[in-house]
Amino acid sequence: MYLNRSFQFYIEAPWLGSKSFKPLLILAAALLLSACGTQRSQEGPELTPGQIRTQILRLMPAKVPDREGWAADIQAAFTAQDIAPTTQNLCSVLAVAEQESTFQVDPPVPGLGKIARNEIDRRAARLHIPGVLIRTALQIRSPDGKSYAARLDAARTEKQLSAIFDDFIGMVPMGQTLFGNFNPVHTGGPMQVSIAFAEKQAKNYPYPVSGTIRQEVFSRRGGMYFGIAHLLGYPANYPAPLYRFADFNAGWYASRNAAFQSAVSQATGIKLALDGDLIRYDSTSPGSTELAIRALSKRLDMNNSAIFSQLKQGDTLEFEDTQLYERVFSLAEAAAGKSLPRAILPGITLQSPKITRNLTTAWFAQRVDDRRERCMQKVATSAGG
First to last CA, the chain: 33
pLDDT number for residue 19: 41
Q: How many CA atoms lie within 13 A of 179 on its CB side?
A: 22
pLDDT number for residue 115: 85
Q: pLDDT tens for residues 95-137?
A: 999 999 999 999 988 888 888 888 889 888 988 999 899 999 9
Q: Give percent of the chain above pLDDT 70.
A: 85
DSSP character for 188?
A: E
Evaluate the CA torsion angle 382, 81, 49, 221 in order and state its sign.
positive
Q: Contact at 8 Å (CB) between 340 and 329?
A: yes
Q: How many CA atoms lie within 13 A of 71 on its CB side?
A: 19
| CA distance linking residue 217 with residue 4, whole number of Å | 16
| CA distance linking residue 250 with residue 255, whole number of Å | 8
| CA distance linking residue 353 with residue 112, whole number of Å | 9
Coil, strand or helix: which one is 194? Answer: strand
| CA distance linking residue 93 with residue 248, whole number of Å | 11
Q: pLDDT tens for residues 303-350?
A: 999 999 999 999 999 999 999 999 999 999 999 999 999 999 998 876
Q: Does the structure show a pLDDT above 70 at 362?
A: yes
Q: What value does the mean pLDDT take over residues 21-32?
A: 42
pLDDT number for residue 184: 83
Triad 295, 298, 299: Cα angle to 5°: 90
Q: pLDDT tens for residues 165-205?
A: 999 988 888 888 888 877 888 999 999 999 999 999 999 99
Coil, strand or helix: which one is 141? Answer: strand
Q: Contact at 8 Å (CB) between 32 and 236?
A: no
Q: pLDDT tens for residues 33-81?
A: 444 455 655 555 789 999 999 999 999 999 999 999 999 999 999 999 9
Give the strand pairing for 187-188 and 193-194: antiparallel
pLDDT number for residue 284: 80
Contacts of 370 (CB under 8 A, 6+ apart): none
Q: Does the structure show a pLDDT above 50 at 295?
A: yes
Q: How many C-beta atoms lie closer than 10 Å to residue 3's C-beta? A: 23
Length of the chain: 385
Triad 17, 20, 26: Cα angle to 5°: 75
Q: Look up the pTM and report it.
A: 0.83
> What mean pLDDT is reported for the chain?
86
Secondary element (H or E) of residue 267 = helix 254-268
Contacts of 327 (CB under 8 A, 6+ apart): 299, 300, 301, 302
pLDDT number for residue 112: 86
pLDDT number for residue 32: 43
